Amino acid sequence: MDKGFAPAKVNLALHVTGQGPDGYHHLDSLVVFAGAGDQLSATVSRDLTLSVAGPFAAGVPTDETNLVLRAARALREARGVTKGAAIRLLKHLPHGAGIGSGSSDAAAAIRLLAKLWEVEPLPHDAPEVLALGSDVPVCLQAPTPVRMRGRGERTEPLPRLPSLGLVLVNPGATLPTRDVFRALARKNNPPLPEPPEAKKPEDFAAWLKTLRNDLQAPAETLAPAVTEVLETLRKTPGVLAAVMSGSGATCVGVTRDAGVARNAARIIQLARQGWWVAPAPVLAA
C-alpha cells in the first residue's frame, strides 16, 4: 500500500486582477502549504474506486464528481495505464473552506498513483491538470511556496521565506467559491507587489499586512462569521498577521513558528469550541 499527503493550500494574499472572456477570473496570489492535511492511500486494483473516511467525510462524493477520481482517470489515460486502484481518502480538512482540500487531494492522488503504477506524474502545467480546476496546478507543486497568476496556470517559486507557523480557523461555514466571486464588486484590482526576501517572521508579516484578499469583503457579506474569526485571530497572543484564505471561510493566523501556532490554537479552541482550529508549520520545498 502506498500513501500520500494532501496539505492545506493557504492563500496568504489573493488579488483579483481581471476576468477573461471565458468567464474565468485572473488572480495574483501568494500560496503556501500547511503541515495539516488529508491523507490518501492506494493499492492496485482492477477498477478505480474511492472510499472516504475521517472527521470531514460527510458530504464528500465517492463517484466521478470527486476530483480524486477525475485526477486518477486523467493520469491513467495520459500514461496509458490499464490497471486500476482502490483509493482511500481520510478527510481531516473541511471542504468548501478556501484551503483547496479537494484540489490538494487531486494533486496528491496524481503523485500517489504515479508511484503506484510506476509512471511519470502529470506536470503541473499539463492541460489535463488545468482542466481539473485552477488550484490543482499549484497544489501539484506542494510543498513549494509559489506565486500563482492567471487562472492558476502561471506559477513561480517564492523567495525563501522565514520559518513560519500557521493557525487555521474555520467557524463551521461553507462558502461556495462561485457565490463569493459573483458577489465581488470590483474585478480589476492591482496585482501583488514583488515579494521581499524577508528573513524575519515579523518583517514578512508586516509586508503581508500591506496586501489584500479581494474576496474577503464578499465572503464577509455572505458569512459574517469570517469577520469574527479574523478579529479573534488578531487579538490572539503570538499572531503576527491574520488573513482569509481563498474564498473563505477559513482564516489563517501567521506566527513566528509552529510552537507559537500551537499555543495560539489552544487559546482559540478554549474560547470557541465549535470552531475548527488546526495549528501547523508552513511547509518548505
- Cβ-proximal residues to 224 (8 Å cutoff; 6+ apart), any chain: none
Q: Is 99 annotated as a binding residue?
A: yes
Q: Is 100 annotated as a binding residue?
A: yes
Q: Is 101 annotated as a binding residue?
A: yes
**Cell numbers given for 243:** 488573513
The residues facing 280 across adjacent strands are: 166
9 is catalytic: yes
Q: Is 97 annotated as a binding residue?
A: yes
Q: Is 45 annotated as a binding residue?
A: no
Q: Is 124 annotated as a binding residue?
A: no
- Cis before residue 284, ω within 30 degrees of 0? no
Catalytic residue among 3, 9, 47, 125: 9
Dist CA 44 CA 59 (whole Å): 26
Dist CA 152 CA 148 (whole Å): 6
Catalytic residue among 38, 135, 209, 257: 135
Q: Is 103 annotated as a binding residue?
A: yes
The residues facing 155 across adjacent strands are: 148
- Please answer whether residues 271 and 159 qualify as being in contact, where contact means their C-beta atoms are separated by less than 8 angstroms: no
DSSP assignments along 31-88, one per residue: EEEEEEEEEEEEEEESSEEEEEESTT-TT---STTSHHHHHHHHHHHHHT---EEEEE
- Cis before residue 143, ω within 30 degrees of 0? yes
- Please answer whether residues 93 and 174 qualify as being in contact, where contact means their C-beta atoms are separated by less than 8 angstroms: no
Q: Is 98 annotated as a binding residue?
A: yes
Catalytic residues: 9, 135
Q: Which segments are annotated as binding site for ATP?
A: 94-104
Q: Which segments are annotated as binding site?
A: 94-104
